[in-house]
Amino acid sequence: MGILIQNINKKLGDPPNHILKNISFKIEDGEFIALTGRSGSGKSTLLYVISSLDPATSGEVIIDNQNLNKLSKEDLHRFRNLNMGFVFQFHYLLPELTAIENILMPARKFEKEKILKNKAQELLQTFGLENKADRLPRQLSGGEQQRVAIARSLIMNPKYLFADEPTGNLDSQNGQIVMDIFKKINKENKTTIVFVTHDPGFASLATRQIVLVDGVQR
């Protein structure tokens, strides 16, 4: 069913600054999509609109035949939690929780912590963090923290994964590790992945690139 973006516009400020301009495209299930463009082109704004974290000024976002504009706030929140995972440039781990507790945070909302604990341990192992389960974020390297954040985004087995500059704060080696994880998730789990990057090398790993120039799709 995938994601259908129809005539998306986004304006901010007063007088309004036209950030996104009449953008339309479709993302098929299982695609690995890079949103690219220069800084200020609107790519991160588009990611937030697609993923329902920021409403468009006009236009429609339809995911799995659900028009997100027409969902109540409660239904949208539930749809997001059950179907989407998010990875950001900053890991946003809770400093007082261990790695495995951070991974299980999304499961708390549905009281599934105990059910999913084994899966959290499997994710730690998959990402080479099996010996770091009980460490706090400050006891982890930047690359390890980002891997924990990715594991957290996957704990509910989302159909869609959205990532905003996930390698932006990492060195090239750790950035490559993150992208290898994304490729593995996309290939093995058939997870649809949409990520923002300014790195041409990482963008080339995607099956398709959507390029923005000054808020216009090229």
Closest residue by Cα to residue 37 from 51, 23, 26: 23
Amino acid at 193: I
Mean pLDDT of the chain: 89
- What number is the average pLDDT over the span 181-187? 89
- pLDDT tens per residue, range 46-98: 999 999 989 899 999 999 998 998 899 889 988 988 899 998 877 789 999 99
- What pLDDT score was predicted for residue 177? 83
With a cut of 80, say whether residue 23 has pLDDT above it.
yes
Q: Report the run of H or E that residue 77 belongs to, with start and end.
A: helix 73-83
> Alpha-carbon distance 20 to 213, whole Å?
10
Residue with tokens 């799709």: 217
Over pLDDT 90: what percentage of the chain?
A: 47
With a cut of 80, say whether residue 174 has pLDDT above it.
no
Number of domains in the chain: 1
- What pLDDT score was predicted for residue 126? 84
For residue 140, the enclosing domain spans 3-217
Q: Report the run of H or E that residue 121 belongs to, with start and end.
A: helix 113-126
- What pLDDT score was predicted for residue 60? 93
φ, ψ (nearest 5 deg) of residue 172:
-60, -35
φ, ψ (nearest 5 deg) of residue 123:
-65, -40
With a cut of 90, say whether residue 41 has pLDDT above it.
no
- What number is the average pLDDT over the span 42-46? 90
- pLDDT tens per residue, range 101-153: 999 988 887 788 788 898 899 889 888 888 999 999 999 988 899 889 989 98
- What pLDDT score was predicted for residue 101? 93
- What CATH number does the domain containing 116 carry? 3.40.50.300
Pull the structure tokens for residue 8.
Answer: 């998306």
Who's near 36: CB < 8 A, 6+ residues apart? 43, 196, 197, 198, 200, 203, 209, 210, 211, 212
Pull the structure tokens for residue 108.
Answer: 């708390």
- Predicted confidence band of residue 5 (pLDDT cuts 50, 70, 90): very high
> Alpha-carbon distance 92 to 94, whole Å?
6
Residue 132's SS3 state is: coil
Residue 85's SS3 state is: strand
